[in-house]
Structure 1
Amino acid sequence: MASRVPLLVLLIAVTCLSQFYRVSNSVIAPELVRDLDLSARQLGWAGSAFFFALFAVQVPVGMWFDRFGARRTVAALSIVAMAGALWIAVSTTAFDLIGGRAIVGVGCAASFMSVVFLCSRWFPPARLATVLSWVFAASNIGTLAAATPLAWVAATVGWRMGFAGLAAVTVLVAVCFYAFVRDRPPEAPAPPTKKENLSEIMKGLVEVWMTPGLGPVLAMHFFAYATMLTVLGVWGGPYLYDVHKLDAVARGNVLLVMGVAQILGILAYGPMDRLLRSRKKVVLGGAALSTALLAVLALLPQPPLWLAVSLLSAFCFACAFGTVIVAQGRALFPDRLAGRGVTTVNMAQCLGLAVLPAGMGYVVEAFGANDMAYRIAFAALGLGLVLGAAVYLRSRDSATAHS
């Protein structure tokens, strides 16, 4: 286990950075709107640009994983993320912000799937969901850092300096990842492989897409994490500002609570597939509870702040079941297709993350960025979870043993 500690620490570090980048717009959204003269629609696209970029490069990332390994892929792309962070730091227009976030999205495209790719090799299958829950829960230190700490940085030295500092941290993590991470444990040396030509690469991709049971998993994965992050990472801050009139630090404090709730949810869902011997039951239960909480947020006019915060935090806890879907998706593919398989599953999540925040931006702008606008948006997000779960009902369960 000792040899796995550096791996886990650096996987947490690289996913912390990705989490920070993805949710950083939420707490400083009013400041971005002020400084860059953004509309609600442009703010929504700035939130989605990161995820459109993630989606666009998932296929090549999967091929790079299988050909070059996660170590070299993550380290190289992290340098791209650094460049995007610097662009954001000097941005003066909506185009700069959206473009910078897209570049950062490319740079973070391998981060989360490297966790699945590497942990599936370093840990036994029965423990995969639990280990993933540890890493993904700890990665939310990045989410927490993008709440009150980022609000404090923005209020003291400005959000631009915050992103400049983050660029330096990104380079440091990239160097350490390359230096200390290995693609396989020492007791499991890589099997002999031959370099694939273009025809064989495409054949592998077709094999991945023809995998039985993939479609329902993709449908649920499109909505699950994307719904939660649309609220926590993009529109939670604007909602607290537009409806409850909270300043930056107060918004950061609420988002911090929501982020902690998500971490606790990830940890709670992690071992459930072994306890229930079913991943499908865990996912459907989480989707049902999340939908119910969104329905309450949609039906309650102008809830008091304490109730709104309680409901938002409970929602972040309940909607943290995406890790279980990831483990279920990884179980569909053999090791030789692991890179292309897990990135194909991640494409659904990335597409959801690209579509839902931008879609919510259109709703909020159309209805005037008021209480009713956000209630309609919450209802739309809940409907999406229902649609995803309806398709997911046809999925094949992947039960896991207690040990």
Structure 2
Amino acid sequence: MTHTLPRRGAVVVFLAFALAYFLSALVRAVTATLAPSLAQEFALQARDLGLLAGGYFLGFAAMQLPLGSWLDRHGPKKVSLGLLGVAVAGSLWFSVATGFSGLLAGRVLCGVGVSACLMAPLTGYRRWFQASAQMRANAWMLMTGSLGMVASTLPVQWVLPLTGWRPLFWGLALLIALSMAVIALWVPGWAGASGPRADGAVPGGYAMVWRHPYFRRLAPLGFFFYGGMLAMQTLWAGPWMQRVAGYTPLESAAGLFWINVSMLGVFWAWGMLSPWLLRKVGVDQLMAVGLPLCLLVLLGIIGAGPQAGSGAWALFCIACTCVSLSQPAVAMAFPPALAGRALSAYNLVIFAGVFVVQWGIGLAVDAFAALGLSTVPSFQAAMALYLSCSAMAYAWFLLRGRRDNALPSPAP
């Protein structure tokens, strides 16, 4: 059962969750900007940076299965408040770390703490928003996340010489605590007819989610395309610009800034256009047409090598944004009582992909260097491996669509 909020209430709820998601995106992406400082202070290698950035996503991914059940049972408000307290602790832990293990533990705790910042609102939107507004709300939440990533680039780079990176995380802990207060005041509880007990006919657990043919069809796209887009946006675009394209740290931060600004604009456009596009075309068709562009851009980046800078990576991320439509599509393929579990299971796939791609590219870069390749060919070879995996995921998406006799996309 659903309980649609009035327009004003929907806007208030959106803004409350948007603040928390803005901060979660800032925490997620800040390692790309801090990578030179952390590598110098702690003598980190490429695989260490990949594991450090991926540690956030490891903690994030580890929470997704229990998170889905908690969201369906207790609702977005209680779950968000409980987990954001862990994010406060993780930010403080990271700020006082004296070695790599301390940094990694802080990042894992941060990942655990912000693991509900997108799933909680999307679960609530499935019950509280009109169906036609869910795609738009999803796109605009991602736009808010892009704004957080913008804040993690040049603004952070400007602050670092003044304060250093440790006080930055003290401030983040304070802001996350503020977002908890906003959610506590503005977001409704999970009560009455809209609560999970009203849908008791739906069995517990994740079996219905894992077995669903549409979920299985989209899972490789979530792992490699969505996860890979986030892996590049939050880590590897920065080292590529510095170690392959020859950018200075400030130039790299500026490049990341404009990459995230472009993503912000694209997600705003998706929010404006997606209801109309989905009436005319459909989710599957949009992804089938849009994702090959992502593969072609990455092929061009690999071929261009040092000539591929921030503009090329911005184009790659923009080309990948159509895969974001898969997230609300998965939610709408299931009844509202399963929305939290469906979204969290798919998010697990995405962030497991981010972890694997981030760490895997670091391992591949170091491995190719150990085989005698110089820096630029090592990065190109690692990206070529990622490209081949993405191409296979796209082929699976097309072939499963045909095998399942073109299973219809979930209608808004």
TM-score (normalised: structure 2): 0.90
Residue 76 of structure 2 corresponds to residue 65 of structure 1: no
Unmatched segments (≥5 aa) in structure 1: none
Contact 1:129 1:323 in 2 (8 A): no
Residue aligning to 2:285:
281
Residue aligning to 1:353:
354
2:187 pairs, out of 171, 181, 194, with 181
Of 89-98 and 204-213, deviating more is 204-213
- Distance in structure 2 (CA, Å) of the matches to 1:298 and 1:313: 14
Contact 1:13 1:139 in 2 (8 A): no
Per-residue deviation, 1:397: 3.6
2:115 pairs, out of 109, 133, 143, with 109
Residue 57 of structure 2 corresponds to residue 56 of structure 1: no
1:373 pairs, out of 375, 378, 382, with 378
Contact 2:56 2:111 in 1 (8 A): yes
Change (3 A) 1:5 1:269: closer
Residue 99 of structure 2 corresponds to residue 93 of structure 1: yes
Residue aligning to 1:398:
409
Paired residue secondary structure (2:188): coil
Contact 1:222 1:351 in 2 (8 A): yes
Contact 2:86 2:113 in 1 (8 A): yes
Residue aligning to 2:142:
136
Per-residue deviation, 1:313: 1.2
Residue aligning to 2:394:
389
Per-residue deviation, 1:378: 2.4
1:167 pairs, out of 170, 173, 195, with 173
Mapping of residues 191-270 of structure 1, within 5 Å: 193=197, 203-270=204-271
- Distance in structure 2 (CA, Å) of the matches to 1:229 and 1:380: 17
Residue 48 of structure 2 corresponds to residue 42 of structure 1: yes
Per-residue deviation, 1:201: 9.6
Change (3 A) 1:136 1:214: same
Contact 1:148 1:252 in 2 (8 A): yes
Residue aligning to 2:36:
30
Contact 1:126 1:400 in 2 (8 A): no
Contact 2:127 2:194 in 1 (8 A): no
Residue 329 of structure 2 corresponds to residue 328 of structure 1: yes
What letter corresponds to residue 133 of structure 1 in structure 2? A
Per-residue deviation, 1:289: 0.8
- Distance in structure 2 (CA, Å) of the matches to 1:43 and 1:156: 24
Per-residue deviation, 1:156: 1.7
Structure with the bigger percentage of helix? 2
What letter corresponds to residue 115 of structure 1 in structure 2? P
Q: Give the paired residue count.
A: 393
Please list the CA deviations of residues 321-359 of structure 1 after superposition, one character each: whole Å capped at 9, or x if unmatched. Answer: 232000211122111111111111111101101100000
Change (3 A) 1:127 1:28: same
Per-residue deviation, 1:191: 5.0
What letter corresponds to residue 46 of structure 1 in structure 2? L
Please list the CA deviations of residues 171-200 of structure 1 after superposition, one character each: whole Å capped at 9, or x if unmatched. Answer: 11012112211256x9x842572898xxx9
- Distance in structure 2 (CA, Å) of the matches to 1:202 and 1:281: 32
Contact 2:196 2:337 in 1 (8 A): no
2:303 pairs, out of 291, 295, 299, with 299
Residue aligning to 2:404:
none
What letter corresponds to residue 326 of structure 1 in structure 2? Q
Moved >6 Å (runs of 4+)? none
Contact 2:245 2:309 in 1 (8 A): no
What letter corresponds to residue 96 of structure 2 in structure 1? V
- Distance in structure 2 (CA, Å) of the matches to 1:231 and 1:204: 33
Contact 1:32 1:38 in 2 (8 A): yes
Per-residue deviation, 1:302: 2.2
What letter corresponds to residue 331 of structure 2 in structure 1? R
Please list the CA deviations of residues 30-78 of structure 1 after superposition, one character each: whole Å capped at 9, or x if unmatched. Answer: 1100112212111110111111111111111111101111101011101
Paired residue secondary structure (1:17): helix
What letter corresponds to residue 261 of structure 1 in structure 2? S
Per-residue deviation, 1:151: 1.0
- Distance in structure 1 (CA, Å) of the matches to 2:264 and 2:149: 9
Residue aligning to 1:312:
313
Contact 1:266 1:323 in 2 (8 A): no
Residue 294 of structure 2 corresponds to residue 290 of structure 1: yes
TM-score (normalised: structure 1): 0.92
Identity of aligned residues (%): 26
- Distance in structure 1 (CA, Å) of the matches to 2:120 and 2:309: 35
Contact 1:48 1:353 in 2 (8 A): yes
Unmatched segments (≥5 aa) in structure 2: 1-6, 402-406
Per-residue deviation, 1:367: 3.1
Contact 2:331 2:343 in 1 (8 A): yes
Of 376-385 and 91-100, deviating more is 376-385
What letter corresponds to residue 391 of structure 2 in structure 1? V
Change (3 A) 1:167 1:318: same
Contact 1:279 1:397 in 2 (8 A): no
- Distance in structure 2 (CA, Å) of the matches to 1:161 and 1:276: 50
Contact 2:77 2:183 in 1 (8 A): yes
